[in-house]
Amino acid sequence: MKTYKEVDVVLVGGGWTGGILGKEFSEAGMTVVCLERGGPHTADDFSVPRMRDELAVGQRMSMMVNTTDNTETVRNKSAETALPYRRLGSYLMGTGVGGASTHWNGHTWRWNDNDFQIRSKYEAKYGKQYIPADMTIQDWGVTYAELEPYYDKFEKVAGISAKAGNVQGRKIAGGNVFEAPRRNEYPMPPLVYGYAGDLFAEAARKMGYHPFPRPTANASVPYTNPDGVKFGECQYCGHCERFGCEANAKGGAQMTVIPAALRQSTFELRTYAWVTKVERDASGKKATGVTYTNTVTGEECFQPAKLVVLCAFGLNNVHLMMLSGIGEIYDPVSGKGLLGKNYCYQTGSAAMLFFEDKHFHPYMATAGIGAIMDDFHGNWDFDRAPFGFVGGSTVGTAMYGGRPIQWHPTPAGTPAWGSAWKQETAKWYDRSMNITATGTVMPFRGNYLDLDPTYRNRFGAPLMRMTFDYQDNERKISAHSADVINRIATALDPTHLSKATARQSWSSVPYQSTHNTGGTIMGTNPGNSVTNKYGQVWQVDNLFIMGASLFPHNSAYNPTGPVAAIAYMAADIIKKVYVKQPGKLIHA
């Protein structure tokens, strides 16, 4: 085994959190090694026509993980036998420098205390009996006020385009009036709605709702961030979700924080480095570094470090903790153990509208285009009691690109193939729009992650097993959002309407969301969480975890905002407090 010189910090994963911490630590003079399982990206990788190859990139998932190397096994219930998730469908796991930030949609939300203090707020408003006994929600141990300056920092670094709805307590029409107070306006004005967004926003306003431009990391104008990184202006090319940005207009770690870190002599990025275990000393209470395999040469390596931070995709963080034997794996029968507990996903619903007399030009789009409303999630005055659910949903348009392989909507009753299908596809390609909802998912006792007893990855390690299905709470949310969608859709008087319906059970086959959360949850003490609010593992003081695996539940919002904000907050306290006096940052 090859052993390297000890460094101050080793980061496992080179996405948003690895890039943020790498930049913050190296600029503070700390020696940092960032280990990325995938390969590097160059400007040529994102160039035209390569990046507009929908078959290779959008369908065959060239920017995603190879599931023959590593994946999860999936099932809906503990009584079922889990099978490997071999064909990417429900969620898409990225790989390479920048991680999912190279091909994400860019949707960026500020989660607030409705999420961070979820149990306290629901118990205070609806009573303790309102929360189902097997719903394992808990307060996070962090507040919006603590994270607000870090949200602000990330929005400037990533280049978020949007319209604020609450600046220092002043509500602003046209923005999200249900958002928590922010200190500043967004760095750039919002993207244009597009025709579908205009129609949705007009109908929603007439019904008393509050539509606004979707916040997104797509530069609406040329922009230079605080680190001097120059963004091009979004070209509305239709190749955003699943694709890298040809115009350098989509904020990602590979073009912002990681290049900034690489300018420091104290930062080193190693690609094709697959971390297989977090090593500890004889006491088990101190991490000594990580073991990894160079996937090009096959050589096994050990990188010693004073501080270890797991910055991979959330599911990978959970899996690595399990393979490293750190913490007790959750048992849903006894309720003991915390590792793998509170796994959550997202729910939703969608309708397709067809118009004989309207043209939407779906190929002129970007992942953040369109209007959206927060009347049923961020709006705490929305009464959930008549519907009987915890959480809520956001509702809006989602016209992402009109690419020819993926986008061919047809009305119900259209043949699935043949000349009639071709005629209907040609007719409705430019004459259709959708309205979609994204809903929360709460943690339940029977939804969890553990190790599969049968299947193994390329290194012979057990795959992680996912046991998950929607519960009554999520079915109620989906039914409510479907009703809202259908009322708005009907008001637009389409020629044909494929109505939204409630999701009943989770399937791994159709794409839904790459917002997998939980498994190494944060909290207020070692009895209810794997880490404290800074991501510091209670059992191992010099081991930290970043990313959505920290989330005790999942919101209707996309997770990147709090993922980044928590990373910046953790970087600050590590630099200012932990480095000077290593040990527990919170005693509980």
Tens digits of per-residue pLDDT, 387-404? 999 999 999 998 888 999
Residue 463: what pLDDT?
98
Residue 91: what pLDDT?
93
Residue 443's pLDDT band (cuts 50, 70, 90) = very high
* CA distance linking residue 410 with residue 428, whole number of Å: 6
- 321-333 pLDDT, tens digit per residue, is 999 999 999 999 9
Quote the radius of gyration of the chain (alpha carbons, Å): 23
* CA distance linking residue 83 with residue 477, whole number of Å: 28
Which tokens hold the place of 319? 């899996």
Q: Is pLDDT above 80 for 44?
A: no
Place of tokens 């071999």: 86
User: Is residue 489 within a helix (H) or strand (E), and if so which, with residue range?
Assistant: helix 472-491
C-alpha count within 13 angstroms, C-beta hemisphere, residue 239: 23
Q: Is pLDDT above 90 for 367?
A: no
Residue 273's pLDDT band (cuts 50, 70, 90) = very high
Q: Is pLDDT above 90 for 234?
A: yes
Of the candidates 89, 97, 83, 82, the residue with the CA atom closest to the CA atom of residue 14: 97
Map residue 503 onto helix, strand or coil. Answer: coil
Those residues with Cβ within 8 angstroms of residue 517's Cβ, 6 or more apart along the chain or in another chain:
314, 343, 344, 345, 548, 549, 551, 553, 554, 559
> What is the β-pairing status of strands 496-498 and 83-84?
unpaired
Residue 572: what pLDDT?
98
* CA distance linking residue 108 with residue 499, whole number of Å: 28
Say if CB 20 and CB 151 are below 8 A apart.
no
* Residue 350 phi, psi dihedral angles, 5° rounding: -160, 150
Which tokens hold the place of 453? 């007893």
Residue 48's pLDDT band (cuts 50, 70, 90) = confident
Q: Is pLDDT above 80 for 43?
A: no
Which tokens hold the place of 514? 């790459």
> Is 515 an active-site residue?
yes
Mean pLDDT, the chain, rounded, equals 96
- 109-135 pLDDT, tens digit per residue, is 999 999 999 999 999 999 999 999 999
Task: Determine which of 99-108, 141-150, 218-227, 462-471 has the lowest per-residue pLDDT on average.
Answer: 99-108
Per-position DSSP letters for 69-81, written without gaps between them: TS-EEEESSTTSP
Task: Determine which of 23-27, 58-62, 133-137 has the lowest per-residue pLDDT on average.
Answer: 58-62
- Taking residues 562-567, report their average pLDDT: 98
**What are the distances in angstroms from CA 454 to CA 54, 73, 278, 280?**
35, 10, 23, 27
Residue 8's pLDDT band (cuts 50, 70, 90) = very high
Residue 337's pLDDT band (cuts 50, 70, 90) = very high
Residue 477: what pLDDT?
98
Map residue 480 onto helix, strand or coil. Answer: helix
Of the candidates 547, 527, 531, 548, the residue with the CA atom closest to the CA atom of residue 585: 531
Q: Is pLDDT above 80 for 107?
A: yes
- Taking residues 448-459, report their average pLDDT: 96
Residue 410: what pLDDT?
96
C-alpha count within 13 angstroms, C-beta hemisphere, residue 581: 4
Which tokens hold the place of 549? 């695996």
Using left for φ > 0, alpha for ψ between -120 and 50, and beta otherwise, residue 401 falls in: left
Say if CB 525 and CB 138 are below 8 A apart.
no
Residue 468: what pLDDT?
98
Residue 50: what pLDDT?
81
The sign of the dihedral angle between the CA atoms of 423, 425, 429, 433 is positive
User: Sheet holding 72-75: strands in order across?
Assistant: 83-84, 72-75, 462-467, 448-456
Residue 46: what pLDDT?
86
Distance of CA 427 to the CA centre of its chain: 35
Q: Is pLDDT above 80 for 42?
A: no
Neighbours of 289 (CB within 10 A): 23
Q: Is pLDDT above 90 for 533?
A: yes
**Axis-axis angle for helices 472-491, 195-206 (nearest 10):** 100
- Taking residues 197-220, report their average pLDDT: 97
- Taking residues 20-25, report their average pLDDT: 98
* CA distance linking residue 125 with residue 133, whole number of Å: 17
DSSP 45: G
* Residue 169 phi, psi dihedral angles, 5° rounding: 90, -5
Which listed residue (210, 515, 553, 587) is catalytic? Answer: 515
* CA distance linking residue 262 with residue 266, whole number of Å: 8
Residue 47's pLDDT band (cuts 50, 70, 90) = confident
Residue 85's pLDDT band (cuts 50, 70, 90) = very high
* Residue 102 phi, psi dihedral angles, 5° rounding: -75, -30
